[in-house]
Amino acid sequence: MEVILKEDVPKLGHRGDVVKVAEGYGRNYLLPRKLAIEATQANKAVIEQMKASAVRRFASEKADAEALSKQLEAVSLSFQRKAGEKDHLFGSVTSSDIADALEHKGFNIDRRKIQLQDPLKSLGEFDVPVRLHRDVTSRVKVVIEKEAAEA
């Protein structure tokens, strides 16, 4: 059975691809979940139009992401945390903390776009990657300082 994918399906293909699948997989999984439509001549023409509009939308989203990337390159975030010996933090700085700090500076960025492998647990200066688009990744400077001890 040939189907046209309406969404990206892992290990099968991307949106707009025409793929051959087993009859049962197509009828029982892809079609009921609206992940694909049958590959008829009429549907193929509709998909070509959808692909053209998707290319235009992709280009505009990429341009917006590049403009935002230039703005983010100049941003420096500073955090003050309690630290013990050897400059090891008692807590940590997570992607949520960075997203909140960016929001206070006027950037609305989802925490899942911040590519932080592990929470930051030591003092210092870090370059944290932020994936704004599939092809655009920016870097934000994060500085973690020791909190002033209370007398």
pLDDT digits (tens, 9 = 90+) for 31-79: 999 999 998 888 888 878 877 887 888 889 889 989 988 998 888 999 9
| β-bridge partners, 88 | 122
Domain that holds residue 79: 69-146
pTM score, whole prediction: 0.66
Q: Which of 12, 38, 67 is the last residue of a domain?
A: 67
CB 100 within 8 Å of CB 77:
no
Contact (Cβ atoms closer than 8 angstroms) between residue 113 and residue 130:
yes
User: In this model, does residue 143 exceed pLDDT 90?
Assistant: yes
| HSE (side-chain half, CA atoms, 13 Å) at 9 | 20
Q: d(Cα 71, Cα 132) in Å, to the nearest integer?
A: 12
Sign of CA dihedral 92, 98, 99, 104: positive
β-partners of residue 145 are 80
151 occurs within a structural domain? no
Q: What is the CATH number of the domain that holds 87?
A: 3.10.430.100
Among 142, 139, 125, residue whose Cα is nearest residue 69: 139
139, β-bridge pairs: 129
Task: Judge whether residue 151 has pLDDT over 70.
Answer: no
Number of domains into which the chain is organized:
2
Is the domain of 73 the same as that of 94? yes
pLDDT, tens digit (0-9, with 9 covering 90-100), for 20-29: 999 999 999 9
